[in-house]
């Protein structure tokens, strides 16, 4: 499959009683697609997936899948763990439920790059859906260089990478200068979206695109069309907004903003996260 454009990793809104606010989740899904998102990501980090029970995860996939089918949009589902065998089992469960799976580079165990390659090679032989490698070394403790990412991109069931290395480093430049065929490099650090699009990224998976979704889609189209001055100015504005959304752990500020806008019933998060400070929420609202 080919991945491009803006994909929104949906939050999990909670009601006053602490349960998932499913109606608000569905409304958010429709709203970002209405505003130009190419797809949704369910059960990503932004969804507080580690705090969701198995039945809650299944319900989230069902809602997001139904919305994407209705709208002709791409659904990517976060799946797996640091264990190859259990990750393969999770992927097999996505058959018929998702268009792609977002699979993080094994965290905490810190395998070598050869181990990362072996992990995804094994998964590519067993998965029923295309894989998007989630390269986020500041969470996993594992750095994956451009050469290894290219080898991952050559695997038959690997469709792309969510690239979130905390900046634009030499490996990022090298990868985008010569990516494998049909391998989508998607920006995963919101403030650096414009920079990666300028270098040739295929799009982004961006929590802050819950907000100003249409402008994120406009930025993607502007770089694609070569409208450099417009893209640069718009990219700077969106980068500043995105940075404000990450002033405290994701998605706490984002939820505070969405609640202030009346789009979700509470700003609640589940422990070990705690709600964002009012100062951070107000600062983020000012950037809007």
Burial-class residue 27 by CB neighbours within 10 Å (0-12, 13-18, 19+): middle
The single residue of 95, 134, 138, 255 carrying the catalytic annotation is 134
Is residue 134 annotated as a catalytic residue, yes or no?
Answer: yes
Q: Binding site annotation covers 46? A: yes
**Who contacts 67 (Cβ-Cβ below 8 Å, separation ≥6)?**
26, 29, 30, 33, 40, 73
The single residue of 95, 138, 162, 255 carrying the catalytic annotation is 162
Q: Binding site annotation covers 205? A: yes
Is residue 255 annotated as a catalytic residue, yes or no?
Answer: no
Please state at what angle helix 252-260 crosses helix 278-287, rounded to 10 degrees: 70
- Three-state SS for the chain is CCCCEEEEECCCCECCCCCECHHHHHHHHHHHHHCCCCEEEECCHHHCHHHCCHHHHHHHHHHHHHHHHHHCCEEEEECCCCCHHHHHHHHHCCCCCCCEEEEECCCCCCCCHHHHHHHHHHHHCCCCCCEEEEECHHHHCCCCCHHHHHHHHCCCCEEEEEECCCCCCHHHHHHHHCCCCCCEEEECCHHHHHHHHHHCCCEEECHHHHCCHHHHHHHHHHHHHCCHHHHHHHHHHHHHHHHHHCCCCCCHHHHHHHHHCCCCCCCCCCCCCCCCCHHHHHHHHHHC
**Cβ–Cβ < 8 Å for 209, 216:** yes
As annotated, the binding site includes 46, 205
As annotated, the binding site for pyruvate includes 46, 205
Active site residues: 134, 162
């Amino acid at each position: 499959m080919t991945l491009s454009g803006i994909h929104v990793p949906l939050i999990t809104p909670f009601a006053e009683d602490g349960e998932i606010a499913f109606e608000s989740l569905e409304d958010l899904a429709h709203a970002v697609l209405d505003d130009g998102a190419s797809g949704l990501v369910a059960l990503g980090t932004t969804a507080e997936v580690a705090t969701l029970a198995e039945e809650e995860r299944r319900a989230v996939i069902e809602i997001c899948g139904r919305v994407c089918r209705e709208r002709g949009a791409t659904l990517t589902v976060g799946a797996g763990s640091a264990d190859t065998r259990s990750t393969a089992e999770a992927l097999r469960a996505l058959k018929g439920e998702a268009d792609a799976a977002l699979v993080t580079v094994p965290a905490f165990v810190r395998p070598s790059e050869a181990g990362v390659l072996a992990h995804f090679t094994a998964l590519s032989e067993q998965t029923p859906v295309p894989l998007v490698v989630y390269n986020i070394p500041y969470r996993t403790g594992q750095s994956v260089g451009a050469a290894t990412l290219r080898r991952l991109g050559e695997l038959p069931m690997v469709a792309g990478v969510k690239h979130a290395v905390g900046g634009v480093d030499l490996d990022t430049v090298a990868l985008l200068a010569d990516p494998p065929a049909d391998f989508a490099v998607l920006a995963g650090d919101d403030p650096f979206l414009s920079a990666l699009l300028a270098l040739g990224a295929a799009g982004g998976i961006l929590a802050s695109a819950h907000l100003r979704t249409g402008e994120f889609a406009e930025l993607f189209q502007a770089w694609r069309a070569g409208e450099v001055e417009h893209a640069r100015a718009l990219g700077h504005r969106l980068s500043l907004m995105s940075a404000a959304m990450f002033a405290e752990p994701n998605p706490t500020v984002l939820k505070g903003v969405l609640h202030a806008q009346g789009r979700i019933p509470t700003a609640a998060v589940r422990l070990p996260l705690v709600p964002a400070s009012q100062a951070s929420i107000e600062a983020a609202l000012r950037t809007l």
